[in-house]
Structure 1
Amino acid sequence: MAKSSADDLELRRACETAMEGTKQKVALSIRVAKSRGIWGKSGKIGKGQMAKPRVLAISTIEKSQQTGAFLHVLKYSNGGVLEPAKLYKLKHLSKVEVLTNDPSGCTFMLGFDNLRSQSVAPPQWTMRNIDDRNRLLLCMLNMCKDVLGHLPKVVGIDVVEMALWAKENTPVVSKKRNIQDGPVSAADVVAESDMKVTVEKELVSQAEEEDMEALLGVYVMGIGEAEAFSERLKRELHALEAANVHAILESEPLVDEVLQGLEAATIAVDDMDEWLGIFNIKLRHMREDIESIETRNNQLEMQSVNNKALIEELDKLLERLRIPSEYAACLTGGSFDEGRMLQNIEACEWLTGALRGLEPPNMDPSFANIRAVREKKTELDKLKTTFVRRASEFLRNYFASLVDFMISDKSYFSQRGQLKRPDHADLRFKCRTYARLLQHLKSLDQNCLGPLRKAYCSSLNLLLRREAREFANELRASTKASRNPTVWLEGSGGSNQNVNNADTSTVSDAYAKMLTIFIPLLVDESSFFSHFMCFGVSALAPPGSPANGDNNDDDLGIMDIDDNDTNSNTKNASELGALNESLRDLLDGIQEDFYAVVDWAYKIDPLRCISMHGITEKYISGQKADAAGYVRLLLDALEERITSQFTRFVDEACHQIERNERNVRQMGVLSYIPRFATLATRMEQYIQGQSRDLVDQAYIKFIGVMFATLDKIAQTDPKYADIILLENYAAFQNSLYDLANVVPTLAKFYHQASESYEQACTRHISMIIYYQFERLFQFARRIEDLMYTITPEEIPFQLGLSKMDLRKVVKSSLSGVDKHIGAMYKKLQKNLTSEELLPSLWDKCKKEFLDKYDGFAQLVAKIYPSETIPSITEMRDILASM
């Protein structure tokens, strides 16, 4: 018989090595084959179900007063070393089943009650022989019985057969131990029991074994007499049944007595059930009565609470609907005198609050349909309408009476010999008394403000126009200035130069004073009107701007009572449009008095339009706020009026310039050239750091007409055209030299005149030179023309260009050359009216002549090398001596 792997000490040591560190002792280790259902009906191994070698090891561990038992499944690694694969606790072993489909009986399965997935088939373990199987199973069963105290279910194997095998395979082993081995542990005992099965460790006790042997003996003894044994069993069964029936019959009196007791109990129970039914009906009726009483009580309590809450709410509503008699009297018939305004304001505040209190969300919407609320709202609306009508009528009359009082008093306006600055402090003080009232009117009925605004604008417009008219009239009457004629650039002379030099600064000062007095006044009035009449737009120009004084008189000293308009910086487009329309009504017509001052200043000195234009621009730049929109429009209109007047002056002056071309003959410097220099000098004085656009545009128009007129005059007599052009362009440069250095626009025209002057000089000098030396330079021109087509050697052989022809030309032109040059000087001097130009023109003439003669001498040296003519040095000396 082959040696079992359970006795392989090397295998046991390998298992201990794999379990090193767990403090467990190996009780048994044996090699097995693992598979899953490898035994089919045919007993063949299925595909993919090859058995895998494994080692099963049973181990124990000592704990506090307890011993634990484990089943280890170990597998071989790639290097052939055992390593743990599975671990089972034997206390969870519930079933040991030997498979019947394995003919050898060496295959079994182990079932554990703590496995998570019971749907997966447990692995099947196959031993090498029956002895190895019995040895492993006996070890596990002994461990479960002795250590754990219970046995698992055994299926497919006879326990008696296992016991008999254990008795037969239990060798007698000496239990002597060497003293040096030490004390015997529990694990050693288990290990010995595995190898040496004793009687005490058997699965079946001695008494059980004897009973089983006797039973088996009886069973074996009667195995050949099955029919006799069956008959015996039947007889015994019939005997037992007869004994039972006899016992029952003997106990009949007792049964009758029990039945009588049961019947009496049944009658008592029926009586009790009837009484309980009666009591149940009475209790149900009582419960219904109690529920009804509780329901009525709850309803009464709820009704009491609701009535109390309703009374409180009605008291609040009645208090809200009550109209105090003093407020009703004030709203319907009270006085609007200054002393009574506090009562009026209080009444307005109460009325506003009462009306808002009847509107959602201040009042519950469910109250809106109550008749008392509707009637009270109607009554409040009547109070509001009555008060708004009375207050509007009073304010319209009040505004008119204030203005009428001021207009009737002449001390408010400028008088002869005394300019009066308009003072509206008293007017505004009186109006502020009713500012709060106006805000309440806006809150009560915003539509009522339209007629009030118109009435205020209509009344104040009369006062402002009267003040402006009286101030402008006295301003013009008290201003002394000599009137300058508008004939600045016409050709006739006279005493106009002296008149043009008169000081007219008082004119522009008067205009500036008009703006200084009235523009801040109009801005303040616009701002005051915007606040006083409750427009929801921003204030005017910020304090410190040129158009607004440091004192802000439009501050009414009150807060806006309308919750929707508390942000004064919020600009509403519709409000701003309405404000501008009202400002137009307030200030319309006052521009006529400003126009009168502008027209008066223009008649005295048209050039003062430049100063007035600059003054107006400063005020326009200071008006930034939206509420001063109409003041900005007024300034824009003034600027446009000043610009149109100055444009009119420029057009008249240009017309005077154009009149010069109608003269029959014009020689020398035209009169408008020096006069323009005088005009430009004075215009620059009037600018004084202001915007140059107006003056620069005038310069462009003036000089454009001047140059065009000069060209037309020059073309009337082509013989003297260049003389007229060079003299006038020279005069233009000389008169504007200083201004052109500081005025970019004039500098541009200065350079244009310089170029035109040079061109006219070149044409005039060339004409004079050709007039005296025409044959000489004509001969040179013919040579130059032929040099483009033939060689220089062939030119002397051309008709009219022979050496003889050259000698004739030189003799006629250069014999007595000093006389010809003198004639050229006289020709240049003859028609020139500006003597100061003669030296520079004569120098240009000599230079031009030398340049032309130098070219002629070079041609002669190249074409006629054997011919001699006066050299350029000789000619230069002759010119220098002239």
Structure 2
Amino acid sequence: MAKSSADDKELRRACEAAIDDTKQKVVMSIRVMKSKGAWGKGKFRKGAQMAKPRVLAVSTKDKGGKTKAFLRVLKYTNGSALEQAKVYKLKRLGKVEVLTNDLSGCTFMLGFDNIRNQRVAPVHWTMRNLDDRNHLLVCILHICKDALGHLPKVVGIDIVELALWAKEHESKVSKQQNFVDGPSGDVFSEDDSTVTVENELVSQAEKEDMEALLGTYVTGIGAAEAFSERLKRELAALEAANVHAILESEHLVHEVLQGLELATVCVEDMDEWLALFNVKLRHMREDIQAIEIRNNKLELQSFNYKALVVELNRLLEKLHIPSEVSDCLAGGSFNESSLRQYIEACEWIRSAMRGFEALDPSYAKVRAVREKRAELDIIKLTFVRIACEFLRDYFVNMVDSMMSDKRNFSQRGQLKTPNHVDLHNKCKIYARLMHHLKILDKSSLPPLRKTYCSSLNQILRREAHEFANELRAGTKTPKTQSGWFEGSTAPNQNVNSSVVSAAYTTMLAVFIPLLVDESSFLSYFMRFEASSPDPPSIHDADDDLSMMEVDENGTNKGALDLGALNESLCDLLDGIQEEFFAVVDWAHKIDPLLCVSMHAVTERHISDLKAETDGYVRLLLDAMEDRIRALFTRFVDEARHQIEKFDKNVKQTGIMSFVPRFALLASRMEQYIQGQSRDLVDQAYIKIIGIMFVTLDNIAQANPKHSDIFLLENYAAFQNSLYDLASGVPTLAKFYHQASESYEQACMRHMSVIIYYQFERLFQFARKIEDAMLTSSPEEIQFQVGMSKSDLRKVVKSSLTGVDKHITAMHKKLMKSLNSEELFPVLWDKCKTEFLDKYDTFAQLAAKVYPNENIPSVTEIQDILASI
């Protein structure tokens, strides 16, 4: 068997070293495994938590004649070093429980009363074998008994078996050090172990009582067998005495049995009487219940009859149709003077219909209800038919009277602004009637709407036609202008086209609010709201006021039936767009650039339309905007075509006419745009300038000899003409920079041609030096063929002898090649700068390859250039 850790002296010394208090003495130390158990008694789960190695040490300390005992838990740190983890006072030990779920019996739990209620899982201690467990438990019990004066409760192990184990291992246990006597004392002796067991099983008082009792029976008995025989004899004597007592009381038993028989007979008679009475009572209870049910039915029937009479009287009142209502609504004709009576009758019908709807569904099958409902429907439909016929004739006659009066329309020399206030007032008289018609029969409104819209459409179209004709006739327009890029001269930029633009603005300013107002009035008057609330009583408002409130934008506050409204608006405004298109075409024919201002005015009106009823007017303006865009796009395409005509295989020189004309065109368009959306004008710029640049490149390619002169002159003219506009227009600024880049490239190419014409041999020799330096060192280049010092001297003599004459010839050639004198100073400065840069490069290369050769310095050449 492996040596127990309880006998490990090294372990005990390590525990003493780990305890801070040097006055404490370690009585026992033993290795254990610590694990957390589940809550609840006896609920042991193996593997519930990983076991951790620990050392349990029992220590004592003397203090003032009293002994204190502790149970210390030590853990391993840094390998094998021990460190104190917890300390428990053994005087708080209340229970020692060996867990029965562990079949090995090596796991136990120590219950301390000071931590009993804490919310922590109990700690389970597991020994390697039963001997280690018994060693620790015997030591703890012995200390609790002798030093602390009490024993904890032991659960799960027999204390007698523990005492027997301690006796068997007495020699081994006796080697433990006593906590009182010091190192020489023994913890357990034979007497001590016996006392420990007896004190646990029997107290001293109980022991004395047992000895006294046994002393009474043991007197005169020398052996246990004799004592047992004596007890048997006394038991037999007691049993015989009991049987004799029972036989002597036999007559009493007979008397009791007779009394029980008499009581049984009485009870049976009583049960028969009770059964008879129960049947009679049940029959009586059934009779009473039947009488109560009959009485309740009679009371309920009487109550129902009374309620039925009241309900029938109320129903008769609801079903009654007054004669004045039926006579008014079902009359043969519609009398305009009786409008108030018609409205009151309609309100009565509405209340009657609500009364029918509020009736219980069971009344729907009643014959009287069905007949009255059918009569009410007939009256309602008859009135709706008569009223609709009257309103259709009323709308037609009202429009015919307006159409026959020429004063309502524009005439020669007099513009007439349409005014429909009187027309609306005449219609508002029947607004309440229209609302009742919608409630009574929704299908009656579409024909009325169709008649109203078609009639009013005639007035609107004629007003717009007469107004547009007189507007065009009364506007003094300039002559029709020719194409911007055709002919020898551009159109006169001072032509005053503002009167034409003002005519279009006037047309929109007059008719767009009129059309918006008509759309809103149509929505209100023809009741296009999706829901139809009950109108106010006839006594609460006048006939010419609206039942539905109208908000600031002219739309009803109720939800609109937009689908039906748009259909009616189409009927109302159909064809009027042609009059607007005629004005647009007229203005475009006079000056296509007016499309820019007309587009801006149209956009402004579109942005002002926000109400739901303005949807069709917005579509009309969108159509005009598309028409203006199409006309302006056609103008731009024509301008592009006119520019393309310049490229017809004919040699062109000088500045092309379309370059300055475009500057005039751009300035006119910027005047017309008036701060509105730039999309239309920017797209025109992109298209026209794009074709201008393409045409310039094509013309230059047709004459390669003078292509650079042609390009730099035209691009310079483009920049000069658009300098002011490009600073404020991003699109023109982009093309301005593009023209500047093309101008610089053309200048560099032309300067190179002028310079190489006079100094070609000199700069070709410099290029040969650069190419040779890529493969050879500067010292080796002068020994190559054609690169010797004599070759250099020949080149310098032919090119730089009389260099002032060569520079003067270059100056004359540049002046002769240009058509624009304004560009010459700038180009001559560029030419001198380019020549100096190239000569400087040549001088540096010659100094590296031919260091001892004498060539003119850059300063000398610069002085010669400055003198010309």
Pairwise same-fold verdict (TM > 0.5): yes
Tell me the distance in 1 between the aligned counterparts of 2:848 and 2:250: 175
Match of 1:327 among 325, 328, 332: 325
Tell me the distance in 1 between the aligned counterparts of 2:856 and 2:288: 160
Match of 2:671 among 670, 685, 690: 685
Tell me the distance in 1 between the aligned counterparts of 2:671 and 2:513: 28
2:721 equivalent to 1:726: no
Give the gaps of 5 or more residues in structure 1.
1-75, 86-122, 135-222, 245-272, 539-554, 562-566
2:853 equivalent to 1:867: yes
Tell me the distance in 2 between the aligned counterparts of 1:810 and 1:869: 7
Q: Which moved more, 1:468-477 or 1:662-671?
A: 662-671
1:402-801 maps to which residues of 2 (within 5 A)? 402-490=398-486, 492-494=487-489, 496-497=490-491, 499-536=492-529, 557-559=546-548, 569=557, 571=559, 575-662=561-648, 664-801=650-787
Match of 1:382 among 362, 378, 382: 378
Structure 1 pair 335–809 and aligned structure 2 pair: CA distance change class (3 A): same
Tell me the distance in 2 between the aligned counterparts of 1:558 and 1:776: 100
Tell whether the 8 Å contact from 2:493 to 2:668 is kept in structure 1 after alignment.
no
Structure 1 pair 709–732 and aligned structure 2 pair: CA distance change class (3 A): same
Structure 1 pair 866–289 and aligned structure 2 pair: CA distance change class (3 A): closer
Tell me the distance in 1 between the aligned counterparts of 2:639 and 2:866: 47
Offset at 1:867?
A: 2.0
Offset at 1:483?
A: 3.2
Tell whether the 8 Å contact from 1:796 to 1:802 is kept in structure 2 after alignment.
yes
Offset at 1:656?
A: 1.1
Q: What is the letter of the counterpart of residue 878 of structure 1?
A: I
Name 1:369's counterpart in structure 2.
365
Structure 1 pair 237–606 and aligned structure 2 pair: CA distance change class (3 A): closer
Q: What is the letter of the counterpart of residue 640 of structure 2?
A: C
Offset at 1:295?
A: 7.1
Q: What is the letter of the counterpart of residue 557 of structure 1?
A: S
Q: What is the letter of the counterpart of residue 397 of structure 2?
A: S
Q: Which moved more, 1:290-299 or 1:433-442?
A: 290-299
Match of 1:311 among 285, 309, 329: 309
Tell me the distance in 2 between the aligned counterparts of 1:608 and 1:286: 112
Offset at 1:865?
A: 2.2
Structure 1 residues 692-735: Cα deviation after superposition (integer angstroms, max 9, x where no partner): 11111111111101101110111110000000000000000111
Offset at 1:560?
A: 8.4
Structure 1 residues 627-648: Cα deviation after superposition (integer angstroms, max 9, x where no partner): 2110111111111111111111
Offset at 1:294?
A: 7.7
Q: What is the TM-score when the length of structure 2 is the normalising length?
A: 0.65
Count of residues paired in the alignment: 612
Give the gaps of 5 or more residues in structure 2.
1-143, 154-202, 215-236, 256-272, 532-543
Structure 1 residues 741-768: Cα deviation after superposition (integer angstroms, max 9, x where no partner): 1111111111111111010000001011
Tell whether the 8 Å contact from 1:486 to 1:606 is kept in structure 2 after alignment.
no
Name 1:185's counterpart in structure 2.
none
2:208 equivalent to 1:128: yes
Tell me the distance in 2 between the aligned counterparts of 1:865 and 1:79: 118
Q: What is the letter of the counterpart of residue 731 of structure 2?
A: T
Structure 1 residues 812-838: Cα deviation after superposition (integer angstroms, max 9, x where no partner): 222222222122112111121100001
Structure 1 pair 485–237 and aligned structure 2 pair: CA distance change class (3 A): closer
Tell me the distance in 1 between the aligned counterparts of 2:335 and 2:427: 12
Tell me the distance in 1 between the aligned counterparts of 2:286 and 2:788: 162
Structure 1 residues 552-592: Cα deviation after superposition (integer angstroms, max 9, x where no partner): xxx9521489xxxxx955546xx211211211111111111
1:110-121 maps to which residues of 2 (within 5 A)? none
Secondary structure of 1:797 counterpart: coil
Offset at 1:799?
A: 1.8
Tell me the distance in 2 between the aligned counterparts of 1:664 and 1:427: 68
Name 1:812's counterpart in structure 2.
798
Offset at 1:129?
A: 3.5
Structure 1 pair 77–454 and aligned structure 2 pair: CA distance change class (3 A): farther
Q: What is the letter of the counterpart of residue 624 of structure 1?
A: K
Tell me the distance in 1 between the aligned counterparts of 2:298 and 2:402: 76
Tell whether the 8 Å contact from 2:493 to 2:664 is kept in structure 1 after alignment.
no
Tell whether the 8 Å contact from 2:392 to 2:451 is kept in structure 1 after alignment.
yes
Secondary structure of 1:794 counterpart: helix
Structure 1 pair 556–615 and aligned structure 2 pair: CA distance change class (3 A): farther
1:67-82 maps to which residues of 2 (within 5 A)? none
Tell me the distance in 1 between the aligned counterparts of 2:788 and 2:149: 134
Name 2:394's counterpart in structure 1.
398
Secondary structure of 2:365 counterpart: coil
Tell whether the 8 Å contact from 2:334 to 2:386 is kept in structure 1 after alignment.
no
Secondary structure of 1:773 counterpart: helix
Structure 1 pair 289–607 and aligned structure 2 pair: CA distance change class (3 A): closer
Offset at 1:337?
A: 4.1
Q: Which moved more, 1:686-695 or 1:791-800?
A: 791-800
Name 1:171's counterpart in structure 2.
none
Name 1:825's counterpart in structure 2.
811
Secondary structure of 1:690 counterpart: coil
Name 1:339's counterpart in structure 2.
337
Offset at 1:284?
A: 12
Q: What is the letter of the counterpart of residue 865 of structure 2?
A: L
Structure 1 residues 655-690: Cα deviation after superposition (integer angstroms, max 9, x where no partner): 111111126221111001111111111111111211
Q: What is the TM-score when the length of structure 1 is the normalising length?
A: 0.64
Structure 1 pair 326–812 and aligned structure 2 pair: CA distance change class (3 A): same
Offset at 1:493?
A: 2.1
Tell me the distance in 2 between the aligned counterparts of 1:524 and 1:679: 39
Tell me the distance in 2 between the aligned counterparts of 1:292 and 1:812: 153
Tell whether the 8 Å contact from 1:461 to 1:588 is kept in structure 2 after alignment.
yes
Structure 1 pair 298–793 and aligned structure 2 pair: CA distance change class (3 A): closer
Tell me the distance in 2 between the aligned counterparts of 1:725 and 1:286: 133
Tell me the distance in 2 between the aligned counterparts of 1:848 and 1:299: 128
Tell me the distance in 2 between the aligned counterparts of 1:346 and 1:287: 65
Tell whether the 8 Å contact from 1:530 to 1:537 is kept in structure 2 after alignment.
no
Task: Answer with 1 or 2: which has the greater Rg.
Answer: 1
Structure 1 pair 337–500 and aligned structure 2 pair: CA distance change class (3 A): farther
Match of 1:802 among 780, 784, 788: 788
Structure 1 pair 863–286 and aligned structure 2 pair: CA distance change class (3 A): closer
Tell whether the 8 Å contact from 1:531 to 1:556 is kept in structure 2 after alignment.
no
Structure 1 residues 475-512: Cα deviation after superposition (integer angstroms, max 9, x where no partner): 1111112134141122x324x44x33111111111111
1:165-184 maps to which residues of 2 (within 5 A)? none
Offset at 1:866?
A: 2.5
Tell me the distance in 1 between the aligned counterparts of 2:795 and 2:442: 107
1:291-306 maps to which residues of 2 (within 5 A)? 301-306=299-304
CA RMSD of aligned residues (A): 3.6
